Amino acid sequence: MPAFDTTFAQLQLIRQPEQPGQMLQPFDAADEYLLQHLASQPLRPSTQVLILNDSFGALAVSLAPHARVASSGDSFLGSLALTLNLKNNGFAPDSVLSVPASEAAKGPFDYVLIRVPKTLALLEEQLIRLQGQLSPGAQVIAAAMIKHLPRAAGDLLERYIGPVQASLGVKKARLLFATPEPAKATTSFVSPYPSRYRLEQPPIELLNHANVFCREGLDIGTRAFLPHLPGNLGHSQVADLGCGNGVLAIASALANPDASYTLVDESFMAVQSASENWQANLPGRPAVIRAGDGLAGQAIDSLDVVLCNPPFHQQQVVGDFLAWRMFQQARESLVTGGALYIVGNRHLGYHTKLARLFRGVEQVAATPKFVIIKARK
């Protein structure tokens, strides 16, 4: 496990999901810079600290012995990493209050420490939720690696919190200090989230919370996938793996009234969106909708069909490691003869990868950019 040494603690930390031979660290220079700044601040056991988007718990575990810490983010894998890193470093699981991004953290907070997320809509929603949650004299500090810090992040901090001052860059990281303005604290900001859009086929409306992928409209991969979803599923057990707002499962369920569905995503806001969309479009029809580490924990040989539009990045890290892991989970969960259906960019070569796991792999359809593949166990 990589060592993370700061003024606050000497820790051994892991990422989630764990990968053999993984070289990526569960922390970066922005975490170190933020903790270096906090080392000069008067933290006490009663100090209330809210940490937003702490990828794998480096900040929360470091500060847990020194203050009352709440950590909120939109990643199930991030919350799992926090739990494991607390345990691995000898801290009680309740030494940090973990709050999914689908819920609001309750203050008042003396410090709000923000790792700037990839999706600025998530940052905006989080800043709106801070209204009325800051103590007098509270400090709001955002941190990021400079290459991942858009100017719009500072604009959002200024709009919802107050004047922003940027630090010097250190090890390619930067801090943004936002000074809370009393006038903004009493302003009732109206959140633009969730957003909504309509589909023509099937004719449904979909709600999307702030951190949902392609929040303003259907992504082109899913658009290519929808006409080729498997039909005549009867009483099949179907999973939508990485469900996002639930559109694949909902479209499939509307066409297969006797099938049973499980929807899972590692984004709490995606699961929240999928749950609300399912209830709106299939009221009264049961389904399992949960945040999780893909199909980890799903019973072996329990599914007939898995639908998947796999991700190609984890936060700022691009790669197919999450997709490959999802394919492995799908194979374990499918019955013999069951099938995984995916959509993917042509250049990713999923056909070759799937052939290493499944006995029958065929192209169902294709567009100039995407392929729809069926892989039978």
Give 164-196 pLDDT, tens digit per residue: 999 999 999 999 999 999 888 777 899 999 999
Give the percent of the chain with pLDDT over 90: 85
Give the best-scoring range by mean pLDDT among 5-14, 43-52, 180-189: 43-52
**61 versus 352: which is more confidently predicted?**
61
> What's the pLDDT band for 313 if we cut at 50, 70, 90?
very low
> What's the pLDDT band for 70 if we cut at 50, 70, 90?
very high
151-160 and 120-129 helices cross at what angle (nearest 10)? 20
**Cβ–Cβ under 8 Å, residues 11 and 89:** yes
Residue 119 has pLDDT above 80, yes or no: yes
pTM of the predicted model, to two decimals? 0.94
Domain 195-376: CATH superfamily is Vaccinia Virus protein VP39 (3.40.50.150)
pLDDT of residue 13: 94
Residue 319 has pLDDT above 60, yes or no: no
Report the distance separating Cα 16 and Cα 166, nearest Å: 31
Of 83, 143, 74, 152, whose CA–CA distance to 315 is shortest? Answer: 74
As a residue count, the chain comes to 377
pLDDT of residue 22: 67
Judged by average pLDDT, the poorest of 232-241, 306-315, 353-362 is: 306-315
**Cβ–Cβ under 8 Å, residues 109 and 43:** no
3-class secondary structure for the chain? CCEEECCCCEEECCCCCCCCCCCCCCCCHHHHHHHHHHCCCCCCCCCEEEEECCCCCHHHHHHCCCCEEEEEECEHHHHHHHHHHHHHCCCCHHHEEEEECCCCCCCCEEEEEEECCCCHHHHHHHHHHCCCCEEEEEEEEEEEEHHHCCHHHHHHHHHHCCCEEECCCECCEEEEEECCCHHHHCCCCCCCCCEEEECCCCCCEEEECCCCCCCCCCCHHHHHHHHHCCCCCCCCEEEEECCCCCHHHHHHHHHCCCCEEEEEECEHHHHHHHHHHHHHHCCCCCCEEEECCCCCCCCCCCEEEEEECCCCEECCEECCHHHHHHHHHHHHHEEEEEEEEEEEEHHHCHHHHHHCCCCEEEEEEECCCEEEEEEEC
Give 208-218 pLDDT, tens digit per residue: 999 998 888 89
Report the distance separating Cα 254 and Cα 47, nearest Å: 51
pLDDT of residue 88: 95
pLDDT of residue 21: 65
Tell me the C-alpha to C-alpha distance, in Å, between residue 45 and each of 4, 65, 122.
22, 8, 29
Domain 3-185: CATH superfamily is Vaccinia Virus protein VP39 (3.40.50.150)
Tokens at 7, concatenated: 């003024």
Give 28-39 pLDDT, tens digit per residue: 999 999 999 999
**Cβ–Cβ under 8 Å, residues 141 and 52:** no
Which distant-in-sequence residues (6+ apart) come within 8 Å of 198 by Cβ? 204, 205, 206
- Domains of the chain, by residue range, sit at 3-185, 195-376
Give 199-210 pLDDT, tens digit per residue: 999 999 999 999
Of 22, 20, 18, 94, whose CA–CA distance to 56 is shortest? Answer: 18
Judged by average pLDDT, the poorest of 181-190, 251-260, 279-288, 293-302 is: 181-190
Give 17-30 pLDDT, tens digit per residue: 887 766 789 999 99
Residue 320 has pLDDT above 90, yes or no: no
Report the distance separating Cα 148 and Cα 117, nearest Å: 9
Average pLDDT, integer, range 248-259: 98
Residue 315 has pLDDT above 60, yes or no: no
Judged by average pLDDT, the poorest of 31-45, 93-107, 128-142, 319-333 is: 319-333
Give the best-scoring range by mean pLDDT among 8-17, 93-102, 312-321: 93-102
**Cβ–Cβ under 8 Å, residues 235 and 253:** no
Asked if the bond preceding 108 is cis, omega within 30° of 0, the reply is yes
Round the average pLDDT of the chain to a whole number and report it.
93
Give the percent of the chain with pLDDT over 70: 97
Residue 229 has pLDDT above 50, yes or no: yes
pLDDT of residue 2: 74
Average pLDDT, integer, range 234-246: 97
Same CATH topology for 3-185 and 195-376? yes
**268 versus 320: which is more confidently predicted?**
268
> What's the pLDDT band for 255 if we cut at 50, 70, 90?
very high
